Amino acid sequence: MAVSSINNNSGTGGTSTGNSAADLSNQFMTLLVAQMKNQDPTNPMDNNQLTSQLAQFNMAAGVEKLNTSVAHVYAMMSQLGSMSASSWVGRSVLIEGEAKVSFGEPAIGIMQEGVELPSNSDDFHFALSDDAETVTVTLHDGDKAYTAELKNVKKGMNTFNLDDLENFKPEPGPPRDREYTLSFEASNAEGENPTVYGLIQEQVQGVTMDPNGPILHLLNHDPITMDKVFVIQK
């Protein structure tokens, strides 16, 4: 009870609340001296008890200093993160999503729901959680689906072009005058199925600051956090 009343002490007229490291140290020493003065002379505090109390106090004081340091570091990291995120405005990023593809113009990564995005190639992108012996690429047009395979694909980011896809099933393959949605499935020699993340290209339009980190506002997609970005492009 005594400790609770001291910690909950409050002053008036702008005086300190008594919760600083120096105040806590003074309070601890006052209590310790009072305890030693009022101890039973026939059963005094032994050295082990005194050492234990001092150790507990040092640990508590150290934790308070550590918490303060961590708070300062977190604030600095948040500021750096905000500054970094603001430099993304106007740049293209790759995020998870279903890409639209056609064999002529516009190419994958250039058109998303009728909005033109900056792109230097007709490539499409996906990320693999592990090496894959086969990645099956499926093109859907709403009525039919056509599949082709990519062999011996490495984990991480991968970029391919529609011209890399051969031996479509069913034959003769997808008509070239339609738009398709891409999906992926991977397998390896061990019979496992590495995770495939299909990626789309978006453009960062703005950044807002949030207590949990910067929020990226995209040209044609819901706002996302920075950890949802797979690649930042030029």
Residue 68 domain-assigned (yes or no):
no
23 and 100 share a domain? no
Do 108 and 188 lie in one domain? The reply is: yes
Three-state secondary-structure class, residue 3: helix
pLDDT of residue 209 exceeding 90, the answer is: no
Nearest to 30, CA basis, from 17, 60, 22: 22
Are 207 and 96 members of one domain?
Answer: yes
- The CB density around residue 189, as the number of other CB atoms within 10 Å, is 9
Number of domains, the chain: 2
pLDDT of residue 7: 41
- What pLDDT score was predicted for residue 214? 84
Conformational region of residue 48, where left means phi above 0, alpha means psi within -120 to 50, and beta covers everything else: alpha
Mean pLDDT of the chain: 75
User: Each residue of 76-92: pLDDT tens digit?
Assistant: 555 555 556 678 888 89
Q: How far apart are CA 123 and CA 108, in angstroms?
A: 6
For 114, the domain range is 92-232
Mean pLDDT of 32-41: 64
Structural element, H or E, at residue 206: strand 196-208
Residue that is written with structure tokens 């990291």 in the block: 77
Residues 55-75 have a mean pLDDT of: 60
Residues 173, 99 share a domain: yes
- Model confidence, pTM: 0.57
DSSP string, 85-113: HHTTTT-EEEEESPPEE-SSSSPTTTEET
Question: And the tokens for 101?
Answer: 């593809």
